[in-house]
Structures are given as structure tokens and as C-alpha cells.
Chain A
Amino acid sequence: METSIIIETIVKAIVILAVFSAIAGFTTYIERKILAFMQRRLGPTNVGPYGLLQIVCDGIKLFTKEDFIPQNAVKPIFMIAPIITAATAFIAMTAVPFFPEFEVFGYTIRPIIADINVGVLFVMGVASVGLYGPLLAGMSSGNKWALLGGARTAIQLLSYEVVSGLALLAPLMLVGSLSLIDINEYQSAGFTSWIIWTQPLAFILFVMAGFAETNRTPFDLLEHEAEIVAGYATEYSGMRWGMFFIGEYANLFTISFLISLIFLGGYNDLWFIPGGLAIILKVSFLIFFFLWTRASWPHVRPDQLMWLCWKILMPLAVVNILLTGAFVMIVGSLG
């Protein structure tokens, strides 16, 4: 019994690692294609059918490119920083239930590596450790653009951790559990029971914080090409640079799964759509939405970003918590 759990966990971990690394590569392709179509270009077309083999080419290039370490960089930290980003991005996935339970050859598989009862807390906690990746990368590079990127990492990721944490508190008060599986079960009564209908403000706040935390375009000040070359990743090349981006895309998927699980009904069956397919559709739409906004919206300035975080989103999140608390108290005292 014990060994079977260990083997099962290892297999699940390897599958998740392999699948999400592959999906991260595929998402770079999808991103380039969608951005191209939105700007009336073609995107990659020359390599393979519809340019699909471009992923392979990029992979070969990343793996064989010279791994360059600048002279004045703090070498060990410079080398570790991308690993932190990639590793925390994948560790955060351990507590995320991706699909409903299913049976293979009479053996029930639960597609979650560790069903811990503080799932949300674990995911948010590990994801916030991920900020050390860009921060240390920026500070150790020995480059002023990278240093600015590192400084922006600190302000942006730390500030939006507050917003995302506070935004999640209100739905958690309704559900009464930190386990993502419990949150999913709470919405099992169908389309109308989704938390987005009772907590629309928390949904908007969490999505906005998700943009900032995964470093996606309206809020990607960490590597704002127009201002600071490539920010924290200026001095990185080859696979170290690649690991930052695998980490970024893995984070993107984690946050999309979190939004689907917490607000959009998770992997519950939706009308005639089975649960496994429903969550894939939701996550795909969210990923598309992330790319869509990247094609549409301009960057914000750092001061605008901080202003938005501390003067608008944070107070709104607190008000939302107060309202939810009052609501829960009144409903509780009545019934």
C-alpha cells in the first residue's frame, strides 16, 4: 500500500512535469500565432505545417546556445535564480487538482499530487516564493537594467500578493475550506452555483492580481522591453533564459487552473460537457484571454501600477471581505 502511493506520486509528478514543460513550449507557439493574427501578421509559418516545428527549433536553439555569465555577476546566485522560478512554478502545481477522479483498469486515479487541506494557501505561498527568481536574477546580474527589473519585481509581485490574498479571502469565507477540492465541490450544483456569481468583485481582483503575479503584459514591468531592455532577464541566455519562460508559462497555467477552480466551477460537469473537458475549456479560454489582453492593452507605468494596487484594488478587496463577512454573519444568524 505504501509503495503503491509512492510510485503513483512519482509517476504523477513526472507526468505533470513533462506535460506542462511541453505545454509551455506549445504556448509560446500559440502566443506568437494569436498575437500575429491580432496584428494581421502570419507568425511562424516556414518550419513544418503551420510553423508547428518552430517549437522544436526554439528548443534546439535554447539548449545549444552559449550559457553566458557576465564578469561582474554574482555567479552562484546568477546560476540558481532561473531554477528557483521554474522549480517553484512546478512545485505550486502539486496541490492543484487538474481533473476529476477517473478509473484506469479498475484503479482510481486522483489527478492531484498531494491533496493537502490547505491547498490554496500552499499554491499561493509557493508561487510567492517564485518572486525570488526574478529578484535574485536582477540583483546578481551586475547590470543596471537587470537591477531595475529586480527592484520592480519586489514592488510588483509583493504588492499584488496582497491583492490576490485578500481577494481570495472572500470566496474562502463562503466555502469555509482552503482545500481546492472542497472549493470545487462547493460549486458542484451547476452553472448557477459558480462562485463568480456571488463574488464578482473578488473574481476581477484575482484576475488582475493574476496578471501581475504571472508577469503578463499589461503588468509586465519586470522585463518591460521598451523601458529596461529585458529587465531581470537582460543578461540571461540559452536554457537559463528558457527556464524563466517555462516558469512563467507554468505559472500562467497554475493561475488559470486556480481561477477556473475557485471562481468558474472547476471540474464539475457543465450541462452535457464532462468535467475533465469543462476545465480544459475554461483554462484554454483564460489562456486565450491572457494572450488577448497582451495583444490589446498597453503597458502601465510603475507608479500607475502601485497606485492601482494600493489605492484601488486593495481597498476594494477589503471592502469585499467586509461585505462578505457581514453577509455570512446575517445569513448565519437568520438560518
Chain B
Amino acid sequence: MNLEDLKNRNISERDYINIQDNSSLETPWQEFKQVFKRSIKGELFTGLKITFIMMKEALFNKQMHTVQYPAEKLPIGPRYRAVHKLLALLESGENRCIGCGLCEKICISDCIRMDTRIDENSRKEVLEYTINFGRCIFCGYCAEVCPELAIVHGGRYENAGEQRAHFVVKDDLLTPLDKLAQQQEYEGFGAVSPDADEKIKKTPLEY
């Protein structure tokens, strides 16, 4: 589309055919003529022809639009924000969360809650981490503020549950240990860079 087209896009004039003009029918004779013209035009039979061709294609060329939903699923856009995932550290399989509490603070629907304490190594430890999906509006702020990329949005969109309690299970969200190799990384602050393997150097203590 060039600039002229962009400035001048009146869709009602370009792509659509105006069937009815605004001139009103004044005399009965005009009305009669219109009715007669439309009756012999065969528009109705054109409609029949189209549906018949559709049926022929569907029956013999298998041109269907049906998706057999539970067995077959449509691809989801890569930026779709669905149920959260808590990512694990690639080295140890531990949760990446450092307990900073930013996600809890920014959550506009107040659905994230975390309990932390300082453990014996004076490091912060996350005791409890819950996301109430019954309240979550999937705005994506939590994933945006997380400095460690510990919480991201996955593509799981089938959120039906039988009980409210089913929406707050952390174990479902954290990548399981045996699936660690399949964990997908998200680009951004804190993410492992694509060439991470080359960048690894031995620390002095290794020598």
C-alpha cells in the first residue's frame, strides 16, 4: 500500500459493492420494476449454487474447517499470556525465585502471595508461593518485573478446574526435574544467553 492509498482508504468505497443505493422508490411502478428485476435476477439460485459447491468440496476434497478440539489443538501465538510457569535453575533444578517480592507487590489483582524467611546461610528462602488463578487477570506484570525470569507465562490455556484449590498448586507450575532439559528460556534480563556454554570459565578454585 503506497502513501496515497493509505491516506485515502475509505473501505466502503474500495472493497465493497454497494448493493442498495440511497435513491428511494417513489412511485408504485418503480417499486414494481425493482421487485421484477430482483425476481428474475436469480440471486437466490446463485446462493444455492455457492452452498452446493461448498458441499461438494467438503465431501470430495475434504475442505473442512472443523478442529476436533480435545484431540487436535490450534497453535497458540508465541506471545500469548496464559497460566504462569515457575522456571528452574538449569544447574540445580531449584526454583529461580529469589524471594524479592516484586511480583507480589505489582500484582494488580492481588493474587500472588509469598512467604519468605532468612535461612541459616543468611540467604532468603521462599517458603510458600501461591498464585490464585481464580483471581488472576493474566496481565503479565509479574513476569515483566521478575528480575530473575523465574516467573513467566506459558501457553497452557485450558484453565477449567473443579475446585478453587486447584488453581494454587505450585508443583504444577515449577518445571519438573526430569523435564529440565526441555525448559524453554525467555529472552530478557536474567535469561541464559544462547552462547552460555562458551562463556563459562573455570573459577580460580577449580585450578
Contacts and interface: CB of A to CB of B under 8 A. Distances in A.
Nearest to B65: A40
B25 to A, nearest CB: 14
Interface in A29-65: 34, 37-42, 45
Interface of B: 35, 44, 47-48, 50-52, 54-55, 57-59, 63-66, 68
Contact of A296 (B51, B63, B64): B51
Given A37-B58, A312-B35, A295 B51 contact: yes
Contacts of A297: 44, 47-48
**Secondary structure dominating the interface of A:** helix
B48 A296 contact: yes
A40 B63 CA distance: 7
Given A38-B58, A40-B63, A42-B64, 10 more contacts: A34-B55, A37-B58, A37-B59, A38-B51, A41-B65, A41-B66, A292-B52, A296-B50, A297-B44, A297-B48
In this complex, the member of B51, B57, B66, B68 whose beta carbon has the largest number of chain A beta carbons within 10 angstroms is B51
Determine the interface band of chain A, counting residues with CB < 8 A from chain B. Answer: 10 to 19
Contacts of B68: 45
B63 to A, nearest CB: 6
A292 B65 contact: no
Contacts of A284: none
A293 interface: yes
B59 A293 contact: no
B54 A39 contact: yes
5 contacts: A38-B52, A38-B55, A45-B68, A296-B44, A312-B35
A293 B35 CA distance: 21
Contacts of A38: 51-52, 54-55, 58
Contacts of B44: 296-297
A37 B65 contact: no
A174 B35 CA distance: 30
Interface in A266-301: 292-293, 295-297
